[in-house]
Structure 1
């Protein structure tokens, strides 16, 4: 028998508490793991850096069948890199790692910064709602970086669809169904891009990220089926737009800490990196991640059996006082003196980026957050008027209640 605490079905409690559900119980029970049920399904909940190390060991857990279909179909869909295991996963993951080299990440950040600066510099721009208006800027940057051309109307349509994929992933019922219907149109558009690239490039060597996806070959030496290539193209583009959630939190931090806004306006790369890391640690992004036990093994008094479902608390691990000094304070300078390991800072997952399922876009995310903060810092004419910036951790995904709105000062105001 397992020696860890066992709780009754926690579906309603999780819905009420959101991001703090696992960590609250771990603190109360004095443990880093407990058993419960969510939606009647048995799960083991884990929290902390040590748990992350166990969870992201590929011998222990896989991502296969680890997410509800409602979320998987919006964020990844079937046949994508996150659903693969072993050598198939490593080969497909390499496709993404190759497109996200340091120089490529920098190019993406530069393209975005140029577009964001242009958006704020428009004479007719009076207000900029960061949490929503930034999506079109990010989508345009992602398409240009990937080597795809699209008119403004298509950019805005894709931006809306990418936003729905992220916002509705944790929802159930009609809101989720609507987003999934919209994703069908997005995948159809992506398939058209893949088809066009294959017809126009022939045996291209993948000079652009989109072309690399279109011409990628798996273990069999065959091109990916068009629907799978379309899904992977979306997996290259959609995460760029998802960074907009971090950007809204970054601007919130600048509003609350004007000294950092002035510092980042100077464009110091180290300050940008420190600030972006703390935004990722401090603010809520994904609350947790699921995994399926790949084998039977014991850990801390619990026997995992192959096929068991586990949930790793990402938000709680990033706020674990055993690792982070004063974790409820926003302090970018903490990263000036200390570098986290792959299991202590896990806003986008943990483990090794090459051999495991850690997000390959972390570098790009950091560059984009830093670029957004720098551009806002260089536009002091935009200020935050009275608004409700409280973040409700019970809601997934969490966001400032009123959104984050920047308003241009008028002469004499």
Structure 2
């Protein structure tokens, strides 16, 4: 039996919060191993990175998601009782509900709503002072996804609802006021969409056929029962919140175009190049740091023992930057995705494995579509200047974002 390296600290929670996205990889490099044991939140935890680790981690015969994500993250980010924490037939049933929303035509429709909202904002940006792209894109995404999901959203509520969705995203890793803000946002958000679920069910707010509001309100579990109001509200927010979170990837795409201006012309000329560019943005920049599971039943792997119930973390950022998988991983090189056919275990920005039967993010295709639309808009629909500002990424901050939110000035419509 191989000896699993062990982090020396009696508890590494503070070190994890300080190191952020690099926590697991730094220790893997230090131990010379893609696996080590530590304590996080006072609980024994196994940390993994790399392709074999990802393939292991997404084996549903060996791992479960129930109880894996810390409760502070469930109470802010994902919602208690959401699809991310389900297993077996219950997960299969609920995941199928989400996947039914992700048809190519539905994804394209969301992309078009997003593009239309963006183009409608360009004249406003032209007549205003400096524009914080992160803030503006978030509101564009909120308007678009609510329209797509059948969720009524008066213009007077756009800022408030966007701020609530942002607070849920940021609250999981926050300490003190930031976390409390996330808890309040989750409570208010579930009340908001829970009322919509009730109204759809009694017929006072008939949502469009195929919309997320209607599909979730009418969905029945494996026993033929409607989802409880609270769970339905959690799952509707699990459509809205992750879509708004794509604002970070879009800011990263703008940052990549700024740092690598030679790619602006290349993405204008070719849809295939745009696809490769977007995939490299997803690989290179920080989004989700880790994902969690628990050991279903004890087993041994590569000489290491995994006891029943042990929490296991897969390093998503570290796997996407693993030197054995990605040559020169700290270089931004979209050409590495030219002709790429995909690998669900080496490229895991939004989780790995299979979409339908596994726990890979149901909204991955939406993310790619929205990013491609944004790159197209940034390079063909508008011109702008990037003034001096702090664009450095602090990988100790989760979720990461340039401190300035990516400021642009002198916006001009070009198409």
Distance 1:390 1:344 in 2: 26
**Does the CA-based 8 Å contact 1:43-1:311 persist in structure 2?**
yes
Distance 2:175 2:65 in 1: 21
SS in structure 2 at match of 1:337:
coil
How far residue 182 of structure 1 moved from its aligned partner, in angstroms, is 2.0
In structure 2, the partner of 1:73 is: 75
Q: Structure 2-normalised TM-score?
A: 0.94
Q: What is residue 170 of structure 1 aligned with on the other side?
A: 173
Match for residue 6 of structure 2? Answer: 6
TM-score, structure 1 length as denominator? 0.95
Give yes or no for contact 2:69–2:85 (8 Å, CA) kept in 1. Answer: no
**Aligned-partner Cα distance in 2 for 1:187–1:152:** 20
Q: Contact between 2:199 and 2:205, CA under 8 Å: does it hold in 1? A: no
Conserved in 1, the CA contact under 8 Å of 2:267 and 2:274? yes
CA contact (8 A) 2:292 2:312 kept: yes
1:225 maps to 228
Contact 1:206-1:215 at 8 Å conserved across structures: no
After superposition, residues 9-408 of structure 1 pair within 5 angstroms as 9-122=11-124, 123-200=126-203, 206-266=209-269, 268-408=270-410
SS at match of 1:6: coil
User: 1:380, CA displacement in angstroms?
Assistant: 4.5
Secondary structure, counterpart of 2:247 in structure 1: helix
Deviates more, 1:247-256 or 1:192-201: 192-201
| DSSP 3-state at the match of 1:21 | helix
The offset of 1:300, in angstroms, is 2.0
Q: Does 63-72 or 148-157 show the bigger shift? A: 148-157
* Alpha-carbon distance in 2 for matches of 1:115, 1:259: 27
User: Contact 1:206–1:213 at 8 Å: present in 2 too?
Assistant: no
Could you say if the C-alpha distance between residues 409 and 132 of structure 1 is closer, same or farther in structure 2, counting changes exceeding 3 Å?
closer
Figure out how many residues of one structure are paired with residues of the other and give that number: 409
**Structure 1 unaligned regions, length at least 5:** none
SS at 2:115's partner residue? helix
1:70/1:169 contact within 8 Å kept: yes
SS at match of 1:187: helix
Contact 2:384 2:411 in 1 (8 A): yes
Distance 1:23 1:204, change over 3 A: closer
Partner of 1:307, secondary structure, is coil
Moved over 6 A (4+): 201-205
Distance 2:191 2:73 in 1: 19
* Contact kept in structure 1, 2:133 and 2:407, CA below 8 Å: yes
Tell me the alpha carbon deviations over residues 195-235 of structure 1, each in whole angstroms, 9 at most, x when there is no partner.
12112279989432211111101112121111111111111
Shift of 1:360: 0.8
- RMSD of aligned alpha carbons: 1.8
Secondary structure of the corresponding residue to residue 155 of structure 1: helix
How far did 1:41 drift? 1.3
> Contact between 2:20 and 2:289, CA under 8 Å: does it hold in 1?
yes
Query: Per-residue displacement from partner, 1:88-132 (whole Å, max 9, x unpaired)?
Result: 100110000000111111111111011112212334233321222
CA positional deviation for 1:402: 2.3
Structure 1, residues 128-182: CA drift from partner, whole Å, max 9, x if none? 2122221111000001111222211222211110011112221133321122112
